Structure 1
């Protein structure tokens, strides 16, 4: 449903979209591509699963990766900004985090950073899996339960949250 809303709103506005995906590995791009008419808005995407590809393809400064790590707000923002330029898109959304089954560099399973870069700048949100208190991803007008469950469930929830972030940004 969110994917169809994204395609409809961007089509109406004459705007385009690109993704930079780490933990989602192309799932966000594929989700948009399932919507009829998506070719009018989807410019493409970068799957930067490997850390070095975030630098090489999305132009994330190596210094950010070294200082903050790839699972960080700073790297998510740089991924979105770089992808927006590389793909010549109005909007770019980046997803980076830990889908599991194991933690990564001290980050727990379910911790995800999402960034949306557009004409007015970039917004980054963080969500994490916390079984003692249901983690919520709050994006302006929407609250979405995210990042609990198995690996693929975390990836799917991260994509839905990223699409909501985009909808609230456009």
Structure 2
């Protein structure tokens, strides 16, 4: 966990330095990203909130991920990651929306292999998604996804 806390500490410092706020939308990480950010002193100055959107119904109703997109591609998809990040940013009133969706295992999901993860980032300038393929057991994949999300957040805040 220390690497996660190190990344979170850097992200919180960057956000505070530039006066940026962050909101999360998490599926496979189920709140890990926001929890690690909140472990960092100063997080209350930058973390708006987070949505654990484990089920597609929550992705649709709370984050406004289009139901037809979810029906067509499933939950593990770059467009879904982008929509989740944008939904978190707008619904929670943040400068940056950060999302995680993927397959932690032990079984494939929506035709995607175990370890496939998408991280979404949304700012006023636009929304992106990044694809990862992680290996390991369920906790390993969830921790790797959390670290990747924090790295993408740090990169966005530093830009």
Normalised-by-shorter TM-score class: over 0.9
1:27 aligns with 2:43: no
Please give the alpha-carbon distance, in whole angstroms, between the structure 2 residues aligned to 1:113 and 1:13: 26
How many positions carry a matched residue from both structures?
152
Q: Tell me which protein shows more helix as a share of its residues.
A: 2
Question: What SS does structure 1 have at the residue aligned with 2:11?
Answer: helix
Question: What SS does structure 2 have at the residue aligned with 1:5?
Answer: helix
Find the counterpart in structure 2 of residue 148 from structure 1.
Answer: 135
Please give the alpha-carbon distance, in whole angstroms, between the structure 1 residues aligned to 2:7 and 2:75: 27
Question: What SS does structure 2 have at the residue aligned with 1:10?
Answer: helix
Please give the alpha-carbon distance, in whole angstroms, between the structure 2 residues aligned to 1:122 and 1:167: 15
Find the counterpart in structure 2 of residue 91 from structure 1.
Answer: 96
Question: What SS does structure 1 have at the residue aligned with 2:115?
Answer: coil
Q: Which has the higher contact order (CA 8 A, sep 6+)?
A: 2
Please give the alpha-carbon distance, in whole angstroms, between the structure 2 residues aligned to 1:105 and 1:17: 29
Question: What SS does structure 2 have at the residue aligned with 1:100?
Answer: coil
**1:8 pairs with one of 8, 13, 21:** 13
1:165 aligns with 2:156: no
Please give the alpha-carbon distance, in whole angstroms, between the structure 2 residues aligned to 1:169 and 1:13: 11
Please give the alpha-carbon distance, in whole angstroms, between the structure 2 residues aligned to 1:123 and 1:166: 12
Question: What SS does structure 2 have at the residue aligned with 1:109?
Answer: coil
Give the RMSD, CA atoms, in angstroms: 0.8
Structure 1 stretches of at least 4 aligned residues deviating more than 6 Å after TM superposition: none
Question: For structure 2, which runs of at least 5 residues remain unmatched after alignment?
Answer: 1-5
Question: For structure 1, which runs of at least 5 residues remain unmatched after alignment?
Answer: 129-146
TM-score w.r.t. the length of structure 1 is 0.87
1:79-136 Cα deviation digits (max 9, x unpaired): 00011000000001000010011111211110001111012111110011xxxxxxxx
